Chains A and B, each alone.
Chain A
Amino acid sequence: MGRVDQAAHTSTCTNTTTPPNLWQACSRGMELFATGFNAWNQLSFEKDMESNQSGYPADVEQLTRILSRDAIEHLYASLSCTVVKTEKGDVSAGYPDEWMEVEDLREKIIFTASDTEGYISQFQSADHFRDGKAQWHFPGLRVIQTVAYEAGFAALTAEGQVWTWGDERYGACLGREVTEDSPAERPCRVMELDDLPTGKIVKIAAGGYLLMALTEGNDVYAWGGHPGQPAILEEVSRSPAPVVVEDSDIADCAVGESHAVLLTVEGDIFAIGVNTNGQLGLPGETRTSWTKLPFDAEAGLAASAVFCGPRNTFVLARKDFNAS
């Protein structure tokens, strides 16, 4: 199965529609900050980004402004490249991955298709997608978001249901028991995410062997784990459990290959996990508890969304009307 290879690059379900509009412009003046892995200059949209003398780019070790635009709508970050949509079209940085080279897939990945075809399709590779050879189609879901982790996928429906499928060896990432009626390799519902106290799920995030889901009422649930390796979140398991950070309400969440980031409704950013490439935006090594990031945006700017690439972190900031 090349499922995992595919997962490592991006989710490729064909009916990805617009997730909750966390990224959408709602004011003039938006800024994108980033920290972390920069081997391919994937954090350098502007030419004047600092690089070392030899010209080989170093990693960025604290949240640094990488782009200013009137509107920044959507972001795609793979291992080697970053693409965002702005009011003047898309801009990209870094080394395009193979998924970016597939023209009609690029549209779907970055800008999200508005015409949902009503089914999830899985492809073994970009080549298979190009050749129109799906492994399978799964009909009947009104999917509004898909995400990929290292060994599988999750999809979110308009009704707030979360469906997962992937490698049975990492069953905890499925958030459900694997049975004959609920096999690992086909999309099945994570029942434990239904009927939560703070409403339905409005966003999901995934990376490495960790998944998260955000509720309408600003709670985050996490599940997953990689047996035999240190967990990013303590006590993460097959059963989705609330993530508690200083009793704050959570506005957004993001998961990288080995790190995760939360944005509170107050606009504070917290990170946890490994920091080999500066992805936490903090000095030092791995953090095993949620640590607040220093984030010095200019006055009047407030963090409005967070996003993770496999080894980097992005923060979108916009003009804060409440503050002004």
Chain B
Amino acid sequence: MRDAQERLCQLCARAAAQVEEECTQLLHSSERRSADDLSGCGHALVSLLAEQASQLARAYRTELAGPTSEQSPSAEHQLILRRLDDIISIAYAKFYAFIFKDLPACWRQLYTDASILKFCLLVYERISSHRDRRRVTTSDDQGVLDKLIRCLDLALILAGAAGEYRGRAWIDRAFGLLQQWWDAAQISEESFDLPERPAKRPRWDEDTDGSLHPQFTGKSSFSRSEPFTPPVQHPIKRVSSMSMEDFQGHMKHVSKAVPGPEPVILTDVPDDWPARTTRPWQNPDYLLSQTFNGRRLVPVEVGRSYVDEGWGQKLVTFNELLESYVDLSRPSSDPGSTKNPNDEPPPIVYLAQHPLFTQLPGLRNDIMIPDHCYTSPPPHPTDSSIDQPELDEPLLNAWFGPPGTITPLHTDPYHNLLVQVVGRKYVRLYSPLETQRMQARGKEDGVEMGNTSLLDVGVMEGWDRICQDHDQVVQDQEAAEKMRQAFKHVPFVDCILEPGDTLYIPIGWWHYVRGLSVSFSVSFWWN
């Protein structure tokens, strides 16, 4: 307990001193503003950040010098917190004002550094209030951990934890120490006073590398129920134990019918992944153990499909995602929130296209980048303007949600391996030759939507009710019927991915993806 606390204290003390020093240097530098470091935010904000860092650094120096030293009054802390929140919200406003790819890195770093300082302030307050017992009240302590986690997760998710000297590495380290501190506090009397999940504690066993890991071989697992299963009409070829040479050959193969490689299902890629064996993603308790008992935040899409009216994004705790949206059969950890069976069903919520594995490095260790992603694939078969600069590393994204999630018909600018880890998904693909018939959207309200089709596979096939957005697109019934008929004759291939299946989606292929059960997939983009 003391050890973890001490190390966390030192980490925070160093960060505060470092931010102060960097800002002071920038303020005295005669160089022009650069959008790549904090100077791009302007001297006023750099100096305001420096002031807060300086006060925090001083507080930590006193703290580390000895526990009997005098503490700074809490009114000062309130003002530091106010200013850090001000800086965070000023930086955050820029995230909207710019298109994200044009957002100067300085604003992401400002957000990240202010969040790191806020975390340091909250840690300091927790430590000093617990030492001086007279100041402790339950309400002070309630939710402190949630605040600490939220503050860093926002920096990871919203700001991409930018910054050369702290950034993601610092936040990962802080999460590690926070977990140790918290685990230790669970055992000691200095509890965080937070209600624990009623989840059965796992058995702890020695792992192959000698470290202790809880064993998650119990029966707890996600529901396999499938409210709706679409028919597979033109099955994609399934192949087991395809060699790398054969896969490379497959990608080079060009048939007369289709330019470029064709989709194929590989049946044995993740067989030896911990995610499918010793660290089973199928087991909700394991996922909770990797997300600070479900306290970590994740971004989710709310609504049936990202082209629907009323679709939005929000941040939820992993626990909330599991209990309220993904697996409704799970018992709630919050005794106050008893589920009423007469309640409206919750909206479809989907953790989609999120780089979860940079946010939660623990889960990254449960999967392996398939060797296939290190082959050199062909360029886009029909439109070289879509090809992207070569990636250093494949881009990994997580896709986790309840039955009924939909990714509308679209294309991506990379080759894609979609690995199905938990549950089943339906996927339909149209070749790049059909691009003309896919009715790509254009720019919508200033947002480029050209990679997404106007066609809604679920609606065309009669699996889903016509949504509002679709009503607007299809002006009248006659036109709708005409569209349906034309669409009917566009050739496609489709499949249902079983757990352990990997679908290769070549660049340029239009794809529609539909979760059938609770489903967790990982996509690997490469070029």
Contact = CB atoms under 8 A, between A and B. Distances in A.
Q: Do A and B come from one complex?
A: yes
Interface of A: 1, 4-5, 7-8, 37, 39-40, 52-54, 56, 58-59, 79-81, 94-98, 127, 150-151, 167-171, 178, 184, 226, 228, 257, 276-277, 311
B75 A40 contact: no
A167 B446 contact: yes
Given A56-B51, A171-B446, A184-B446, A39 B97 contact: no
Contacts of B89: 276
B445 A171 contact: yes
Of listed B44, B75, B85, B104, residue having the most chain A CB within 10 A: B44
B371 interface: no
A52 B76 contact: yes
Nearest to B43: A95
Contacts of A80: 42, 44-45
Given A5-B104, A79-B44, A169-B445, A39 B86 contact: yes
Contacts of A171: 445-446
A148 B523 CA distance: 42
B303 to A, nearest CB: 12
B79 A151 contact: no
Contact of B97 (A97, A150, A277): A150
Nearest to B312: A228
Contacts of B86: 37, 39, 276-277, 311
23 contacts: A1-B102, A4-B98, A5-B98, A8-B94, A37-B86, A39-B86, A40-B47, A40-B48, A53-B76, A79-B90, A80-B42, A80-B44, A94-B44, A95-B43, A97-B44, A98-B33, A127-B33, A150-B97, A167-B97, A168-B446, A169-B99, A171-B446, A226-B96
B75 A52 contact: yes
Contact of A56 (B43, B79, B98): B79
A311 B83 CA distance: 13
Contacts of A95: 43-44, 47
B260 to A, nearest CB: 34
**8 nearest A-B pairs in the assembled complex, by CB-CB distance:** A168-B446, A80-B44, A169-B446, A95-B44, A4-B97, A150-B97, A151-B97, A39-B48
Contacts of B32: 127
B51 A59 contact: no
Interface in B54-101: 55, 75-76, 79, 82-83, 85-86, 89-90, 93-94, 96-99
B93 A150 contact: yes
Given A127-B32, A150-B93, A168-B446, 16 more contacts: A4-B98, A8-B93, A39-B48, A40-B44, A53-B76, A56-B51, A95-B43, A95-B44, A97-B42, A151-B96, A151-B97, A167-B97, A170-B446, A171-B445, A276-B85, A311-B86
Give the dominant DSSP class at A's interface.
Answer: loop
Nearest to B446: A168
B212 interface: no
A245 B356 CA distance: 48
Contacts of A228: 312
Interface in B395-447: 443, 445-447
Nearest to B314: A228
Contacts of A277: 86
B79 A52 contact: yes
Interface residues of B, number: 32
B42 A98 contact: yes
A184 B83 CA distance: 35
B42 A257 contact: no
A170 B445 CA distance: 8
A59 B82 contact: yes
A17 to B, nearest CB: 27
Nearest to B85: A276
Contact of B93 (A81, A97, A257): A257
Of listed A37, A39, A277, A311, residue having the most chain B CB within 10 A: A39
Of listed A81, A169, A228, residue having the most chain B CB within 10 A: A169
B43 A169 contact: no
Contacts of A58: 79
Nearest to A209: B96
Contacts of A94: 44
B317 to A, nearest CB: 20
A112 B132 CA distance: 57
Of listed B32, B48, B75, B96, residue having the most chain A CB within 10 A: B96
B76 A54 contact: yes
A7 B445 contact: no
Contacts of B79: 52, 54, 56, 58
Nearest to B42: A98
A39 B83 contact: yes
Contacts of A8: 93-94, 97
A169 B98 CA distance: 10
Contacts of B96: 150-151, 226
Contacts of A98: 33, 42-43
A226 B445 CA distance: 12
A304 B43 CA distance: 34
A199 to B, nearest CB: 33
Interface in B29-53: 32-33, 42-45, 47-48, 51
A8 B33 CA distance: 16
Contacts of A56: 51, 55, 76, 79, 83
B445 A168 contact: yes
Of listed A81, A94, A168, residue having the most chain B CB within 10 A: A168
A4 B93 CA distance: 11
B85 to A, nearest CB: 8
A228 B445 CA distance: 14
A243 B86 CA distance: 29
Contacts of B83: 39, 56
Nearest to B80: A56
Nearest to A37: B86
Contacts of B93: 8, 150, 257
A7 B97 contact: yes
B194 to A, nearest CB: 26
Nearest to A126: B33
Contacts of A127: 32-33
A4 B95 CA distance: 11
Of listed A8, A54, A81, A98, residue having the most chain B CB within 10 A: A54
Interface in B82-126: 82-83, 85-86, 89-90, 93-94, 96-99, 102, 104
